[in-house]
Homo-oligomer: A and B are copies of this chain.
Amino acid sequence: MARWEPDARGRLARVALDLYAERGFEQTTVGDIAERAGVTERTFFRYFADKREVLFDGSTMLRDALVDAIASAPASLGPIEVVGHAFGQAADTLQERREHAVRRAAVVAANTSLQERELLKMASLAEAAATALRARGVEASVATLAAEAGAAAFRIAFDSWVADPHPTDLHAAVLAVLGDLRAVVAGT
C-alpha cells in the first residue's frame, strides 16, 4: 500500500463519525474505521492518537481562529469585547459545518469519555484565549475571567444551536449569550 494517502486524515475523520453514529462509539474499533476508509490501522495512528481524538480534529482550527482573532482585534477594544469578537469568529468557522457539528454532538453526548474529552478541549480553548489576551497586555486575572466568560457563552450558544431545528446565526448567538451573562451576573 502506498504511504501517501490523498486526504486520508479527512476521510478517516468522516468515516469514524459515520461509524460512531451507526454502531456507537464503544462498538467501533480503529480496525473498522481504517477498513472502511481503505487504509491500514497504522495509517490511522499516523494521524490520531486514539479513537477519541479523531472526533476532535477540528479543535485546532477552532483554537487558531480564536487566537488569531484575539491577536488581530483592534487595540481600542476592551478584554470582554475582544473575547466576544473572537469567540464569534470561532463560531463562524462552525457555521458552514453545522450538519457535521450536529451529528458529532449526538455521538459525544452518548459517551462519558467523549464528554470528558470535549470538556478538556473547551478548557484548553479558554486557556488559549486567556494566553492570547495576556499577550495583548491584559492583566492575568482579567484575562482568565474574560476567557472563561467567553468560553461559557460559546458552549451555551453552541449547545442551543446544535439542538435547534431552526438555528440562527451562531456568531450572533454567542454575543447574545454573553449579553445575557452580563445581565445575570450583574443581578439585573
Contacts and interface: CB of A to CB of B under 8 A. Distances in A.
Nearest to A119: B119
A145 B160 CA distance: 13
Interface SS majority for chain A: helix
Given A116-B119, A148-B156, A156-B148, A186 B184 contact: no
Interface string A105-132: 0000000110111011001000000000
- The copy count of this chain in the complex is 2
A181 interface: yes
Contacts of A181: 145, 148-149, 185
Contact of A112 (B120, B142, B144, B184): B120
Given A116-B117, A120-B116, A144-B156, A187 B149 contact: no
A42 B136 CA distance: 54
A80 B120 contact: no
19 contacts: A78-B187, A79-B187, A112-B120, A116-B119, A116-B120, A119-B119, A141-B180, A142-B184, A145-B156, A145-B180, A148-B156, A149-B149, A149-B152, A149-B181, A178-B185, A181-B185, A182-B185, A182-B186, A186-B186
Given A79-B187, A145-B181, 13 more contacts: A79-B184, A80-B186, A80-B187, A81-B187, A113-B116, A119-B119, A119-B123, A145-B156, A149-B185, A152-B152, A182-B185, A185-B186, A186-B186
